[in-house]
């Protein structure tokens, strides 16, 4: 399909793929750290107000308004305050933050410096998933450059304000991307999520107020001060300012990471010449997961929806972490769900019963159905197990300590709601109707 999607000037991805884009020299030539200079001349409260006006929402998955989160940090607390950057990107289908870390880490570092100054933070930890060896090397090199250039250290750009930034690598556990598990891990403990509230903004790292922001969220901050908050807000919808990165994978002709307008629809992302360029010849879309594997799946007739938090909420799914997974008509939905369920069962930390017991139970039932051993009643039992972990809808009100429980249950509910006939066919025919080649997008 020829391009009809709204054209945007890329912000986050503008320099990706250009020579030496990850260096301080390249970033400065593009106006890098000018936003920090501006911010350092403002009152911290005015910086937070600007971020509120920009309508920037968290890009890690939950879409919480960034300025509002910053404003929850108590101003009069005698305790130190911390900024923790969540770079544990592990949600299946999500692979955008790594490009910021590899190709333009200074954009995130500038966001860190602006946020830290606004929040009265003197120590920031950048927490990267263990597997991110190369992104970690690039990011550490950028941190070293920033220290040498006086961006971090005793006096940030000559101002009487000290900021230190440390890179920490996780050990490859998905759960450490949950913000409170991440804080536990930073404290040197096992990555077990904490009950919320209290939220980290009030009781976070070492019991002190801590803002946890995603890599892309912080990389979006400099643009707010370069363009002005109103201009940034106007790029998006009433409730979601700016542009966003989405990761397109599955059966499409041109998978990849694309920076899109908040008005871009799933259908445009998949079919437009600027993005996915449609499906391979002879294939049709069967289903799309719009926001990382925890987001409820949509059917082929539901793709005319903007990839924005509120628009996808209306469809009872989530914009989440921007991982768009396309499944074609050769994909077995039972096997796909089994694949997703195995992931959550494997990554459950085991702290609370519905998640610890329910996630492997889902996996066992799905395997049984996929292998042709399913019995009448198994589908209801599967639905029951998922409901015990988290009911559907509403989204986000599960029976567990952290959102991994919701993430494990929501796919089950949505697959059963939209593709129940496939589950029934497996049980009726005592086999997978997709035969020997059922893997489709979920190989």
Q: Which residues bind ligand NAI (CB under 6 A)?
A: 60-62, 64, 69, 72, 89-91, 94, 177-179, 199-201, 212, 291-292, 294, 318, 320-321, 403
CA pair distance 180, 37, nearest whole angstrom: 32
Question: Which of positions 332-391 make contact with ligand SF4 (CB under 6 A)?
Answer: 348-352, 355-356
Residue closer to ligand NAI (CB basis): 191 or 291:
291
Residue closer to ligand SF4 (CB basis): 369 or 404:
404
Q: Taking the complex as a whole, how short is the minimal distance between the CB of residue 6 and ligand NAI, in angstroms?
A: 24
Bridge partners of 167?
126
Other CB atoms within 10 A of residue 440 CB: 22
Q: For residues 379-409, b (16+ Cβ closer than 10 Å) or e, as one string?
A: beebbebbbbbbebeebeebbbbbbbbbbbb
Residue closer to ligand NAI (CB basis): 235 or 319:
319
Residue closer to ligand SF4 (CB basis): 139 or 294:
294
Bridge partners of 281?
none
Residue closer to ligand SF4 (CB basis): 116 or 348:
348
Residue closer to ligand SF4 (CB basis): 173 or 312:
173
Q: Does 93 bind ligand SF4 (CB under 6 A)?
A: no
Other CB atoms within 10 A of residue 308 CB: 22
Select from 147-155, 216-224, 399-407, 421-429 the region that touches ligand SF4 (CB under 6 A). 399-407
Q: Taking the complex as a whole, how short is the minimal distance between the CB of residue 157 and ligand NAI, in angstroms?
A: 28
Q: Does 250 bind ligand SF4 (CB under 6 A)?
A: no
CA pair distance 12, 125, nearest whole angstrom: 21
Among ligand NAI, ligand SF4, none, what binds residue 349 when CB lies within 5 to 8 Å by partner kind?
Answer: ligand SF4
Select from 50-58, 133-141, 361-369, 402-410 the region that touches ligand SF4 (CB under 6 A). 402-410
Distances (CA, A) of 306 to 159, 236, 246, 300, 382: 43, 11, 12, 14, 31
CA pair distance 16, 388, nearest whole angstrom: 44
Among ligand NAI, ligand SF4, none, what binds residue 94 when CB lies within 5 to 8 Å by partner kind?
Answer: ligand NAI
DSSP helix/strand/coil, 416: helix
Residue closer to ligand NAI (CB basis): 91 or 104:
91
Q: Taking the complex as a whole, how short is the minimal distance between the CB of residue 93 and ligand NAI, in angstroms?
A: 9
Position among 287, 288, 401, 432 found at the interface with ligand SF4 (CB under 6 A): 401
CA pair distance 291, 293, nearest whole angstrom: 7
Residue closer to ligand SF4 (CB basis): 165 or 385:
385
**Contacts with 366 (C-beta within 8 Å, 6 or more apart), sequence order:** 334, 337, 338, 341, 382
Element (H, E) at 337: helix 333-347
- CA 101 to centroid of chain Cα atoms: 15
Bridge partners of 306?
265
CA pair distance 240, 227, nearest whole angstrom: 16
Q: Taking the complex as a whole, how short is the minimal distance between the CB of residue 315 and ligand NAI, in angstroms?
A: 15
Position among 175, 247, 262, 333 found at the interface with ligand SF4 (CB under 6 A): 175
Select from 67-75, 251-259, 370-378, 396-404 the region that touches ligand SF4 (CB under 6 A). 396-404
**Contacts with 350 (C-beta within 8 Å, 6 or more apart), sequence order:** 356
Q: Does 39 bind ligand SF4 (CB under 6 A)?
A: no
Q: Taking the complex as a whole, how short is the minimal distance between the CB of residue 341 and ligand SF4, in angstroms?
A: 13
Which positions touch ligand SF4 (CB under 6 A)?
175, 193, 348-352, 355-356, 400-402, 404-405
């Amino acid at each position: 399909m020829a391009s009809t999607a709204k054209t945007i000037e890329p912000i986050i991805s503008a320099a990706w793929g250009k020579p030496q884009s990850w260096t301080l020299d390249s970033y400065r030539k593009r106006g890098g750290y000018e936003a920090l200079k501006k911010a350092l001349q403002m009152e911290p409260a005015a910086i937070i107000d600007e971020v509120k006006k920009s309508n920037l929402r968290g890009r890690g998955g939950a879409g919480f308004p960034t300025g509002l989160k910053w404003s929850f940090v108590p101003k009069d607390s005698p305790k130190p305050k911390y900024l923790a950057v969540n770079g544990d990107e592990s949600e299946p289908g999500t692979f955008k933050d790594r490009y910021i870390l590899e190709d333009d880490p200074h954009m995130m570092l500038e966001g860190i410096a602006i946020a830290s100054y606004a929040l009265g933070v003197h120590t920031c930890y950048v927490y990267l998933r263990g597997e991110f060896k190369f992104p970690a090397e690039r990011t550490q090199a950028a941190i070293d450059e920033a220290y040498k250039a006086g961006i971090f250290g005793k006096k940030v750009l000559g101002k009487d304000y000290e900021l230190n930034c440390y890179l920490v690598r996780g050990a490859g556990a998905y759960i450490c991307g949950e913000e409170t598990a991440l804080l536990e891990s930073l404290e040197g403990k096992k990555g077990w999520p904490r009950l919320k509230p209290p939220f980290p903004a009030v009781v976070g790292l070492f019991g002190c107020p801590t803002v946890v922001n995603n890599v892309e969220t912080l990389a979006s901050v400099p643009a707010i001060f370069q363009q002005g908050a109103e201009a940034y807000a106007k790029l998006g919808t009433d409730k979601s300012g700016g542009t966003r990165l989405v990761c397109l994978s599955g059966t499409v002709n041109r998978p990849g990471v694309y920076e899109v307008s908040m008005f871009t629809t799933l259908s445009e992302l998949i079919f437009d010449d600027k993005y996915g360029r449609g499906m391979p010849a002879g294939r049709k879309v069967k289903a799309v997961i719009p926001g990382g594997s925890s987001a409820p799946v949509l059917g082929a007739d539901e793709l005319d929806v903007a990839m924005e938090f509120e628009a996808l909420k209306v469809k009872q799914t989530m914009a989440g972490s921007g991982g768009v997974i396309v499944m074609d008509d050769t994909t077995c939905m039972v096997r796909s769900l089994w694949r997703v369920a195995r992931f959550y069962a494997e990554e459950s930390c085991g702290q609370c019963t519905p998640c610890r017991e329910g996630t492997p139970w889902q996996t066992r039932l799905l395997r049984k159905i996929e292998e042709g051993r399913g019995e009448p009643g198994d589908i209801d039992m599967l639905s029951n197990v998922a409901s015990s972990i988290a009911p559907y809808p509403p989204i986000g009100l599960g029976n567990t300590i952290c959102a991994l429980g919701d993430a494990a249950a929501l796919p089950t509910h949505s697959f059963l709601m939209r593709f129940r006939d496939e589950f029934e066919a497996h049980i009726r025919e005592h086999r997978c109707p997709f035969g020997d080649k059922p893997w489709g997008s979920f190989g």
